[in-house]
Structure 1
Amino acid sequence: MDTSSPARIILVPGFWLGAWAWDEVAALLRAQGDDVVALTLPGLETDHGSPGDVSLEDQVAAIEAAIRGGDGPVVLVAHSGAAIPATVAIDRNVDRVAASVWVDTAPVVDGAAMDASFEGDALPLETQWDDEMEQGSMRDLTQAQLDEFRSRAVPEPAGAVRDAARLSDDRRLDVPATIVCTAYSAADYRSYAKEGASFLAGVLEHRALTMVDLPTGHWPMWSKPIELAAIIDVAARAARR
C-alpha cells in the first residue's frame, strides 16, 4: 500500500445500526489523517419501508461498492452481525482489502448464517433488548447512550439474519485480520471456537489473525471509542507498510 496516502477505512455497523453508530470513532480516525467511510447497509435506513425485500446479497453489494469506490486497498471494519456480509465482500475482493478488523465478532466460514430458521420480515431490537441487558452486552453504556440506541435502532432485515454466506476464495484467510475482543477475552474466543461455537468457526481457519482485548460490552464504538479508534488506526497503519 502507498504509505504516502491515508488509509481508506470502511466502517460497517452491526444489527439495527446505521452509519451514525460510528460517528465518534470516525471523527477520531479522521483526526489521525485516515480516510473514513461509515456505511448504512440496505434495509437499515431510517425510512426503509420494506425490510422483508432486503437480502444478505444486497448488504454484501453495498460493502463491495464501498470497497471499489475509491483508490487503493481498504481496511474493512465490521461489528457484530455485519461479519457475514463483510466476510463475503472480502472473499470477492481479496486484492482490494489490505486488512480487516472485527469488533466483538469474527470472520465467518462458508455456509454461515445468523439464524437460518428465522421467520418474519425483520428482527426488531425490542425483541432482543432484555436478553442483551441480561447478558451484559450493554456494559459501560450511559443511560443517554442506551436511550439513543433504543430510539434510533432499525429492525434488521430478515435476509441479513437468515441468508447464508457463500465463500469461494481461500486467499481471504491470509488477509491480515484483527479481532477486537470486548464482551469476551481473546482466550475465551479461542476456547469457544475450539468447543464448536459456530459463529467463531472462522477463528480456527484464518491464517493471519491477531486478537486484541478491549474489556467492555458489545458496543465499544460508544463505550470505548478512543481505544477502539486506536486499535483500528494501528491496523490501518500496519496495512500501509
Structure 2
Amino acid sequence: MEIILVPGFWLDASSWSEVTPPLVDAGHRVTPLTLPGLESVDAPRAGIGLRDHIDAVTAVVDMADGPVVLVGHSGGGAIIHGVLDARPERVARAIYVDSGPLGEGGVINDELPAEGDGIPLPPWDLFDDADLVDMDAGLRGMFRNRAIPQPKGVACDKQHLQDERRYNVPATVIVCEFPSAMLHEWMAAGSPFTAELARMKDVEYVDLPTGHWPQFTRPAELGAAILAAVEQTADATGAR
C-alpha cells in the first residue's frame, strides 16, 4: 500500500528513517514528507499556515495510484485529519501517532513561544515529564541539532472541516504518553479534547508506552505498530 508519513513539529522527512525499514521490507511504498517551511533552518516561513500543510499532503495523496494510509505524528495528526476531510474516498486508514484528530475550529498549539514567523524547539523544561520519557541526553541532543523552526501559522491557525465522511474512515491511535484507557475515560466524560475522536466510527487503540517522540525512543516498535495497522487495512481492502 501507499503509506504517507507526516512528521510532527520541528521535524522533516528524515525523522522517520528508523521507522520505515519494516514497512519497506514488507513491500509497501513509503513516502515520508518534509512540509513547507521545514526544508531547512533558513527556509522562509512567512505566510505558511495549517491549510498549506494540509494542501501539500493532499497533493501527494492525489498523485498516488490507489488508496493511501496516512500516518501523522503529534501536530501531523491534525494535518492528516484535514487531508482525511479533503479526500475521505482516497484514504484507507489514518494512523495518529501520539496524536489525534483535530476538530472544527481547533488549533494545534497556539501557546508555543514564537520568534518572528517561526517557533523554535522550546527548552526542555517547557515540556511535561511524560513528553520526555526515554529521551536521554543523547536523543535530546540529536533532536535539538536537527530541529527546524515550525511555521507559526501551522500551530495557530484554526482547523476547518466540512465532509463528515471522514468519520467513516478506519483509524488507529498509537498512544504513548498515557494509556489508551485514559482516552476512553475522557471520551466517556465528554472532554472537548477527544470530541472529534469520539465521533470516529472505527478506531483501534495501540499502547506504546514511551514519550512523545516514539520515532526516536522506540522506532522499531513504532514501525511494527504501523505495519500491523497497514497490513490489517491491506487485508480488508484487498489493496497492496
**Structure 1 residue 69: deviation in Å?**
1.7
The residue identity in structure 1 corresponding to 2:145 is S
**Structure 1 residue 27: deviation in Å?**
2.0
Matched residue SS, 2:205: strand
The yes-or-no answer on 1:141 pairing with 2:131 is: no
Q: Is the 8 A contact 1:193 1:201 kept in 2?
A: yes
Residues 94-105 of structure 1 aligned to structure 2 (within 5 Å): 94-105=88-99
Matched residue SS, 2:34: coil
Matching residue of 2:6: 12
Measure, in 2, the Cα distance between the counterparts of 1:74 and 1:80: 19
Match 1:239 to one of 233, 236, 239: 233
Q: Is the 8 A contact 2:22 2:227 kept in 1?
A: no
**Structure 1 residue 50: deviation in Å?**
2.5
Instruction: Give deviations 1:117-139, integer Å, cap 9, x for gaps.
Output: 77652221135x2122x423121
Matching residue of 2:59: 65
Matching residue of 2:209: 215
Q: Is the 8 A contact 2:41 2:148 kept in 1?
A: no
Matched residue count: 233
Matching residue of 1:124: 120
Matching residue of 1:204: 198
Matched residue SS, 2:79: helix
The residue identity in structure 2 corresponding to 1:159 is G
Q: Percent identity?
A: 37
Matched residue SS, 1:151: helix
Matching residue of 2:185: 191
Measure, in 2, the Cα distance between the counterparts of 1:198 and 1:124: 28
Q: Is the 8 A contact 1:123 1:157 kept in 2?
A: yes
The residue identity in structure 2 corresponding to 1:27 is P
Measure, in 2, the Cα distance between the counterparts of 1:21 and 1:189: 26
The yes-or-no answer on 1:181 pairing with 2:175 is: yes
The alignment's C-alpha RMSD in Å is 1.8
Measure, in 2, the Cα distance between the counterparts of 1:172 and 1:231: 22
Measure, in 2, the Cα distance between the counterparts of 1:226 and 1:117: 32
Matching residue of 1:170: 164
Measure, in 1, the Cα distance between the counterparts of 2:10 and 2:104: 24
Matching residue of 2:145: 151
Measure, in 2, the Cα distance between the counterparts of 1:30 and 1:161: 31
Instruction: Give deviations 1:77-103, integer Å, cap 9, x for gaps.
Output: 000011222111111111110001100
Measure, in 2, the Cα distance between the counterparts of 1:198 and 1:46: 35
Matched residue SS, 2:30: strand
Matching residue of 2:238: none
The residue identity in structure 2 corresponding to 1:121 is D
The residue identity in structure 2 corresponding to 1:16 is W
Length-normalised TM-score, structure 2: 0.90
Instruction: Give deviations 1:201-224, integer Å, cap 9, x for gaps.
Output: 222111111111111111111111
Matching residue of 1:3: none
Matching residue of 1:26: 20
Measure, in 2, the Cα distance between the counterparts of 1:209 and 1:82: 18
Measure, in 1, the Cα distance between the counterparts of 2:130 and 2:142: 18
**More divergent stretch after superposition (144-153 vs 47-56):** 47-56
Gaps of 5+ in 2: 236-240
Measure, in 2, the Cα distance between the counterparts of 1:47 and 1:141: 23
Q: Is the 8 A contact 1:84 1:112 kept in 2?
A: no
Matched residue SS, 1:89: helix
